[in-house]
């Protein structure tokens, strides 16, 4: 396809009035982009994926489905990599062989994804979170959408894939320019900051849906919440059900006083293959600080007897 045509399609996509939810038009235009060179990242067996979910109003989770993807009947909005027609499993991963000093904590990435409290450096409060540690049992292939300009040097992994992408495209000069234009456009879509309007994610969500329709399991993309230093995955339920297993669940409490944050382990459960439910039990005392102790650390100048409000 001529580069000028690609630019026209991209221009049309970028000028869609997303507030009208032009789902069908967006998918039509994306489909018109034709063949491009892509980077596919494979998650191999034994790879671990962490998923974080906030607990609300004192709830505790006890089912594997509670820590998995949102049920289809509750999935009614556009998210960064899912449409109302296609729910997805969201999780965080750490790449292999990252450099010393780079972000290597999947739980931290997941926490920033789901807890607004952590993203405001001046906020204070508490939030209970449940983490699920999933393990890959069969290969999962993901479309890598990593090349947002501001994130290229946030991780050596991103730069490695970016350089490899150019080496790959040099072998196919016919597709090089168009592929780079398209990849850059959708990398920018995946890099959008939080917005209260779900339609702002419509293009990245439709792009993911079409990747799945091309027999990929989903997408890998930088975590905007940690400014591209970590990575998220969005995986279609079919692959979660057939290529992944929940290995362990942990309930934790995040305590925050402005820029000082503590995370305490509260409850834990190991999950055996095939289990549908689990029972959370208190962690061993040596791995649990307790709220009173943490509050004293965070607020040595104040006596607090009640839960700190967010």
Condensed to tens digits (0 to 9), the pLDDT of residues 212-223 reads 999 999 999 999
The answer to whether residue 306 is domain-embedded is no
What does the alpha-carbon distance between residue 225 and residue 223 come to, in Å, rounded to a whole number? Answer: 5
pLDDT band at 305 (very low <50, low <70, confident <90, very high): low
What does the alpha-carbon distance between residue 134 and residue 68 come to, in Å, rounded to a whole number? Answer: 9
Residue 249 CA: distances (Å) to CA of 127, 128, 139, 267: 17, 13, 23, 8
Mean pLDDT in residue range 141-145:
96
The answer to whether residue 158 is domain-embedded is yes
pLDDT digits (tens, 9 = 90+) for 75-119: 999 999 999 999 999 999 999 888 999 999 999 999 999 998 998
Mean pLDDT in residue range 226-239:
96
- Whether 304 has a pLDDT exceeding 80, the answer reads no
Reported residue count of the chain is 310
The two tokens of residue 47 are 């790879």
Element (H, E) at 159: helix 156-170
Sign of CA dihedral 232, 237, 239, 240: positive
With pLDDT > 70 as the criterion, what percentage of the chain qualifies? 97
Q: What's the whole-number average pLDDT of the chain? A: 93
Task: Determine what percent of the chain falls in helix, strand and coil, rounding each to the nearest 5.
Answer: 40, 25, 35
pLDDT of residue 8: 95
The answer to whether residue 153 is domain-embedded is yes
DSSP state of 33: T
Nearest-10 crossing angle of helices 3-14, 173-190: 10
pLDDT of residue 310: 41
Pick from 59, 68, 58: which is nearest to 275 by CA? 68
What does the alpha-carbon distance between residue 55 and residue 265 come to, in Å, rounded to a whole number? Answer: 14
pLDDT digits (tens, 9 = 90+) for 240-278: 999 999 999 999 999 999 989 999 999 999 999 999 999
Mean pLDDT in residue range 148-168:
91
- Are 270 and 122 in contact by the 8 Å Cβ rule? The answer is no
Task: Give phi and psi for 293, each to the nearest 5.
Answer: -65, -40
The answer to whether residue 123 is domain-embedded is yes
What does the alpha-carbon distance between residue 69 and residue 79 come to, in Å, rounded to a whole number? Answer: 13
- Are 61 and 53 in contact by the 8 Å Cβ rule? The answer is yes
Per the structure, the complete domain to which residue 88 belongs is given by: 3-95+103-298
Q: Is 257 exposed, middle or buried (0-12, 13-18, 19+ CB in 10 A)?
A: middle
Pick from 234, 269, 282: which is nearest to 69 by CA? 234
pLDDT of residue 303: 55
- Whether 306 has a pLDDT exceeding 70, the answer reads no
Split into its structural domains, the chain has a count of 1
What does the alpha-carbon distance between residue 267 and residue 288 come to, in Å, rounded to a whole number? Answer: 9
Q: Which residues contact 184 (CB under 8 A, 6 or more apart)?
A: 147, 149
The answer to whether residue 119 is domain-embedded is yes
């Amino acid at each position: 396809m001529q580069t000028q045509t690609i630019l026209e399609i991209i221009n049309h996509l970028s000028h869609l009035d997303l507030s009208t939810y032009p789902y069908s038009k967006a998918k039509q235009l994306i489909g018109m982009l034709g063949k491009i060179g892509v980077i596919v990242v494979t998650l191999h067996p034994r790879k671990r994926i962490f998923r974080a979910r906030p607990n609300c109003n004192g709830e505790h989770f006890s089912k594997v489905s509670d820590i998995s993807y949102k049920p289809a009947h509750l999935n009614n909005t556009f998210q960064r990599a899912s449409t109302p027609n296609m729910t997805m499993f969201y999780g965080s991963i750490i790449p292999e062989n990252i450099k010393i000093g780079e972000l290597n904590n999947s739980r931290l990435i997941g926490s920033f994804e789901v807890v607004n409290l952590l993203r405001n450096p001046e906020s204070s409060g508490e939030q209970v979170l449940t983490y699920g540690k999933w393990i890959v049992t069969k290969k999962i292939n993901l479309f890598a959408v990593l090349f947002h300009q501001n994130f290229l040097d946030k991780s050596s992994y991103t730069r490695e894939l970016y350089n490899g992408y150019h080496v790959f495209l040099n072998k196919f000069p016919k597709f090089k320019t168009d592929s780079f234009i398209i990849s850059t456009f959708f990398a920018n879509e995946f890099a959008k900051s939080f917005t209260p309007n779900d339609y702002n994610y419509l293009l990245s969500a439709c792009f993911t849906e079409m990747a799945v329709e091309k027999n990929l399991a989903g997408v890998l993309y930088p975590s905007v919440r940690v400014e591209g230093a970590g990575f998220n995955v969005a995986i279609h339920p079919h692959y979660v059900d057939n290529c992944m297993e929940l290995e362990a669940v942990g309930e934790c409490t995040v305590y925050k006083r402005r820029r000082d944050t503590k995370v305490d382990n509260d409850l834990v459960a190991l999950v055996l293959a095939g289990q549908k439910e689990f029972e959370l039990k208190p962690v061993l005392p040596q791995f649990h600080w307790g709220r009173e102790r943490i509050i004293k650390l965070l607020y040595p100048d104040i006596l607090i007897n009640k839960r700190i409000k967010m």
